[in-house]
Structure 1
Amino acid sequence: MMYDQARAQQPPGKGVGSTARPARGPEPLLPADEREKVSQRLRQALLDFADTPREALEAAESAFDEATAELAKALAERRRVLRAEWQDQDSEEQAEEFRHALRQYREITERMLRL
């Protein structure tokens, strides 16, 4: 039933089977260059494992540490930006901005829980 309600609220040409461009997914939490850098380090660790397993494992651990640190920084920045958007708003006059911020918090939190 919720599917039908959501579909009914879509503008014409945006429903199932439409040739309209598909909606983009959520923006990645890390920039592409950061993701690629960490991925490259992991690939190299895998390649090096047969010859130097301990060093390869240390390199993989280092890549993990870098990824988690970058993710923490990115999440903190998103939180800072979201908070700046709503913290000084009057709740009665800015309900739409509050709804937007709540949706953003929910989307980011749900993405973290799916990791």
Structure 2
Amino acid sequence: MMYDQTRARQPSGQAAGPAGRRSPSSEPLLPSDEQDKIVQRLRHALNTFADAPLEALQEAESAYDEAIVQLANALAERRRLLHAGWQDQNPDAQSDELRALRQYREITQRLLHI
């Protein structure tokens, strides 16, 4: 089974920000080079399975664990940035809060569609 790297880098429902830029919540959670490394490890595990099934499974499990750690770190950083963006705002200025709420919603929806 071939993994579609293009699809992994461009999640569905990307929202464009001002001037056509993506909003922070629609950017890939992991940099493409990190995604590529994990995908390469999975490919290697698939390609070596026939000759060394146990080692292939261990390598796939390790790639899975690495992806989880990197995603958790990326999500924690994204949350920290979002929280910092609205935490100290003027309570009467709701545009920043609404923007943060939308970004929380977009990220959470992306997680639910994984």
Superposed pair shares fold, TM > 0.5? yes
SS at match of 1:89: coil
Gaps of 5+ in 2: 1-19
Q: Please say which structure displays the higher CA radius of gyration.
A: 1
Cα distance between partner residues in 1 of 2:21 and 2:99: 18
TM-score normalised by length of structure 1 = 0.77
Q: CA deviation at 1:90?
A: 2.0
TM-score normalised by length of structure 2 = 0.77
Q: CA deviation at 1:23?
A: 8.6
Letter in 1 for 2:112: L
Q: CA deviation at 1:91?
A: 1.8
Q: CA deviation at 1:50?
A: 0.3
Share of identical aligned residues, percent? Answer: 59
Gaps of 5+ in 1: 1-21
- Structure 1 residue aligned with 2:41: 41
Cα distance between partner residues in 2 of 1:37 and 1:51: 22
User: 2:96 aligned with 1:101, yes or no?
Assistant: no
Aligned Cα root-mean-square deviation (Å): 1.7
1:98–1:29 Cα change, 3 Å: same
The higher relative CO (CA closer than 8 Å, separation ≥ 6) is in 2
